[in-house]
Structure 1
């Protein structure tokens, strides 16, 4: 069994699409639009086969405090293949104004990771 995709509600579909394409090499399908439901989405595909569905609909409310962790899914991770790649992508993102909320480090359970926020404050771990 594999996880087929995760879905993220977004207020800026195009900005989020660009972020995941720029930093993680996502490939994007054609935008789906359902005017009756005021719904739009993209599926972003990654080399591993994993996908993210970015969804937009005007009735979806903002999180009360997007920078506070709450119950539910708290982050997802991209395995970059090496500590050097974690360091390099973290620094590129920092230089380009992406918020780094966890500096590169070795965790207590043996991972080498950093933590960044996407444009809508979703937590992403960059792991070796």
Structure 2
């Protein structure tokens, strides 16, 4: 298993993208927009191959209650759809909350979402 990416909510998506491009030599993906959800994001790839997703959503305007600017989730790549399903079931069996059932998202990820023991969101991806 490996960490697939980290994600941060931000008030100003373009400002944050330019910051990481400028100071950390990140390469930005095409901007992803989901107008129905008011969601936009970029994936920033670093020279090491590590990635950071920066995101904004129209209904997230303050912190720290609920979703907030800063840490949003960790994502772990497990290798296959079958593994996503299996790991999700292990979390379920062990009593962890399944915050999002396995599915293919609008931006092409096959993932599930679970909450760790502190309630932080963890994406389980291919």
* TM-score, normalised via structure 1 length: 0.48
Relative CO higher for 1 or 2, CA cutoff 8 Å, sep ≥ 6? 2
User: Please, what TM-score do these two structures have when normalized by structure 2?
Assistant: 0.49
